[in-house]
A and B are shown apart, each in its own frame.
Chain A
Amino acid sequence: MAVSASSPVLSEALVLAPVTALDWLVIAPVAWCIGIGAVLMMVRHRGMLQPLIAIAALTVLVCLDAMLLWHVSQGGPVTMVMGRWLPPFGIAFTVDLTGALFALAAAVVALAGAVAAMADIDASGRRYGFYPFLMLLMAGASGAFLTGDIFNLYVWFEVLLISSFGLLVLGSRSAQIDGAVKYGFLNLVATTLFLVATGYLYGIFGTLNMADIARKAPGLRDTAPLMTLTALYLLAFSMKAAAFPVNFWLPASYHTPRIVVSALFAGLLTKVGIYALIRVSILLFPVEREILGPVLALVAILTMLTGGLGALAQTDSRRLLGYLVISGIGSMLAGIAIGGPDAIAGTLFYALHSMLVMTALYLAIGLAARLGAGFSLAVPSGLYRDHAALAFLTLALFFSVSGLPPFSGFWPKVMLVKAALDAGAVWLAGALLLTGFLTMIATGRLFLLSYWRPRDERTAGAGQAGLPVSGLPVRRLPITIVAPLVVLTALSLLIGLFPETLLALARQAALALTTPTAYLDSVFAPGSLQ
């Protein structure tokens, strides 16, 4: 540094204290993912080397995120500012418990996806960059979860979106191109709406730092159009999260790519939208969220019901799961609509559960299709007889996604229903329970029609023309898909049996969101005025 550190001007503009080693963890996941993504891009012709590097790198990422979670749960939110400029002038990365939890779950999902991709993504998919795209997707997701600057959040959304485009069109089958056109245009509109809202936010607040916005909002509430701004944000993020009237891109595209890509999308993309929704509506504009609560509740109910009913109407198991993703988003929205620490804790828990379970579900039906079952509900596969273990595993996941004990889906549903009843929102509680019921019927149908019916029954019953009678030799189960599937299902069971740790973390995270003193203090030194 040319100017001496004792210059009075410098101390007013820069953070002069050196960053402690542990605090580097804040930026580490993002930097690591981008770096490894670049390395993988360089070795993209080495089909065998890529998965090894990616899996090792994602294992490190899981460790980094776990350490970050531990660090944040011990010492509260951590802030690091780019270029050492004092906030709000530098771009701040602020990690609180919510961000760290989401980042860890995302890393676990990505690791599972990377392992499963060893069997599911062929040499040409690797050459066209599956693994680099995966790492950049993770850079985008981690960045979105860890940043404390709203324009920066927009940039990470775009990183995420561009990599998801790459993954979506990998293979270039005509259905993929069709799905990608719809996914591309509608998501572009959603992120552009986010940018429009951010432009207005900058015009109103003159700052983009989230803590600064949260700090200044009470003073501006009477004079500035914060209601309009919040409504714009809610529309943009609802579109990203696939909430009811603006969710048609999801069922149009999620079933088209390779099953591993679908699994990753189901685990990562919509959850980033939910995260942003929580961040903006709870941390930045809690008063406006309160007023918009009934609208959000209506959207939540409609999302849940269209998801559940849509799942019932499908003949393709991948599309069925797409609708289950949507109905899950509805449940998370219900928590945001109620507000308050208990409901937000339920939403956070649901999001984490949904990330793990939806990924596992896509992997499971991908495995079933590999064994000759295909994706159509009309074709019985007899997997229950031939591969009882896989059928049981899938059934466990179906229970989990429907919210039945002893799996991870049970607890968040209990929390959300209880919060809804406490808030007097009986309709919302009823819709949550009804959605669980619809989900159970939909997954039950899938299990009965596809897994339970023995294969030869169909040839006798005829009628279902189309697919050739499958005398398919049952191939050996690829361990690289089975292992992540078993681990994710075990995680779901483990969370269901011993929910205390995650419950406590979710409660703590929700409390920190609804009363963000610690978050603000980590960005601006306590007592500092502006």
Chain B
Amino acid sequence: MEPVFALLTGLFLTVSVYLMLSKSIIRMLLGVAILGNAVNLLLFTNGRILREVPPVIAAGLDVPAGPTANPLPQALILTAIVISFSFFAFLLVLAWRAYGTLGADNTDRMRVAEPEDGGPPPSGY
């Protein structure tokens, strides 16, 4: 089962890196969204996959009777989902504001903070 998930994670990462290398902010945003999912899948696979045995301790026992699914990666993923979702939301609004303020969704044309025609620094005193 894990190799399939590993390949899927690789595919997700490839797509997200490809999208994030683009100059268009919208594509970069899509890349970010896919990146978040790729990482969640990666965390999930790293916890090892076991089907259909929920990590529930039966009544009267102190520890589970046999091997169960690993609950920790799910807790990690839950944290990561919340964070990556809030990041995505923030970046989405930021991109919208950037489009409104700078009139560009192309990173090549976003040169307000680092102007290209700044000129050389003064050479003499």
Contacts and interface: CB of A to CB of B under 8 A. Distances in A.
Most buried by A among B35, B46, B86, B121: B121
A196 B32 contact: no
Contacts, number: 109
Interface string A21-39: 0000000000000000000
Nearest to A251: B114
B46 A315 contact: no
Interface in B86-103: 86-87, 90-91, 94-95, 97-98, 101-102
B94 A181 contact: yes
Interface string B98-124: 100110000100111110001111100
A314 B121 contact: yes
Interface string A242-279: 00000000011101100000000000000000000000
B46 A177 contact: no
Contact of A252 (B80, B90, B113, B118): B113
A195 B43 contact: yes
Interface residues of A, number: 45
Given A181-B94, A181-B95, A200-B46, A252 B125 contact: no
Given A158-B83, A251-B114, A188 B32 contact: yes
Contacts of B110: 178, 181-182
B121 A313 contact: yes
A85 interface: no
B55 interface: no
A165 interface: yes
A453 interface: yes
Given A158-B83, A175-B113, A256-B113, A203 B98 contact: no
Nearest to B95: A181
B74 interface: no
Contacts of B25: 181
Contacts of A220: none
B94 A315 contact: no
B90 A178 contact: no
Interface bin, chain B: 35 or more
A174 B112 contact: yes
A315 B119 contact: yes
Nearest to B2: A203
Contacts of B94: 169, 177, 180-181, 184
Contacts of A9: 62
A165 B90 contact: yes
Interface in A175-196: 175-182, 184-185, 188-189, 192, 195-196
B28 to A, nearest CB: 6
A202 B70 CA distance: 12
B79 interface: yes
A165 B113 CA distance: 16
Chief secondary structure at chain B's binding surface = helix
Nearest to A159: B83
Contact of A315 (B42, B84, B122, B125): B122
A175 B97 CA distance: 12
A377 interface: yes
B21 to A, nearest CB: 11
A162 interface: yes
A178 B113 contact: yes
A176 B112 CA distance: 9
Contacts of A185: 20, 28, 32, 91
Nearest to A7: B62
Most buried by B among A177, A184, A252, A448: A177
Contacts of A453: 125
B97 A172 contact: yes
Contact of A162 (B47, B86, B101, B122): B86
B50 to A, nearest CB: 14
A202 B46 contact: yes
A381 to B, nearest CB: 13
Contacts of B45: 203
Nearest to A179: B113
B11 interface: no
B62 to A, nearest CB: 5
A188 B87 contact: yes
B98 A192 contact: no
A445 B122 CA distance: 10
Contacts of B84: 192
B106 to A, nearest CB: 11
A185 B111 CA distance: 16
17 contacts: A151-B76, A158-B87, A162-B86, A169-B94, A175-B112, A177-B102, A178-B102, A181-B95, A181-B107, A182-B113, A195-B39, A196-B39, A251-B114, A253-B113, A315-B122, A377-B122, A445-B121
Given A175-B112, A178-B113, A192-B35, 14 more contacts: A151-B79, A181-B25, A181-B95, A182-B113, A184-B90, A185-B20, A195-B39, A195-B43, A200-B46, A202-B43, A202-B47, A202-B72, A202-B76, A315-B119
**Nearest 3 CB-CB pairings of A with B:** A203-B46, A178-B113, A199-B43
